[in-house]
Structure 1
Amino acid sequence: MTNRNISFIVKDQNPLMLRPSDTVQTACQRMCERNVGAVLVTDVHARLKGIFTGRDAVQTIARGGNPATVQLTQAMTAKPDTIAPDLKAIDALHMMCDGGYRHLPVTVDDTVVGIVSRSDFKGLELDQFEDQQSLWERIC
């Protein structure tokens, strides 16, 4: 992992992307179909507008929102933090830990190229961490 960057993780990725006008129900259905925990909300040019996660779905329902009618633009996290594909994987992992993120969009000039999740890092060597066990306790 010492020299690997995020492009290694997202190189052949086809991230799940929906439009801001799509509903929470549609997002949840697609997330189940693809077995993923997040949807990237983009415009027609794949420019990132937000991220919608399982947590957002729970919050929508808990607040009395109808998943069949609430649009993603109302339920997503707008303007989420992003990372570039040339960022070192170890730095992305630190950012996820520090920010409490489960997912981070990967963009180039606001255009989506992928998404990383905590599980993407499980198979990589963590030789830069002095205490690997405490790291995994923080991210898993």
Structure 2
Amino acid sequence: MQNRDHLTDSTEKPKNETNIINPGSSPVYVSPKQIVARVVSDIKKVTVKATFKDDIIKFQLPTSSGLFELENEVAQRIKLQNKRVRLKYRDEDDDMILLACDADLHNLLGNSPSNNCIIKLSIQLVDE
């Protein structure tokens, strides 16, 4: 027969717990749902406004996203899933700059001053 003394009810607080919400303070039980909510709320996002012809879309994008995710999100929202798109933004010199790779996107997002930043993009179809 199994010794049940070492088993605990799953609703009991663990004995060796760490307060991940406020490290260094006294231990507090944190549920997995609280951890996920905290992580999701801590993800830095920027607002993307993208224009294609007469259509404008607006959505939130995590700054950790790559160009592939951005292009897919734009194509899905504009209903261009089967088309290749090119994304450009206007820089401080008023030049239209092509987002050609993840480094270009992260450079653009890295220059965003805060979570309230809006990135404006122009969408073009790629001629194949």
TM above 0.5, one fold? no
Q: Which structure is richer in relative contact order (CA contacts within 8 A, separation 6 or more)?
A: 1
Structure with higher helix content = 1
Structure with higher strand content = 2
Give me the TM-score of the superposition, normalised by structure 1.
Answer: 0.25
State which structure, 1 or 2, has the greater radius of gyration over its C-alpha atoms.
2
Give me the TM-score of the superposition, normalised by structure 2.
Answer: 0.27
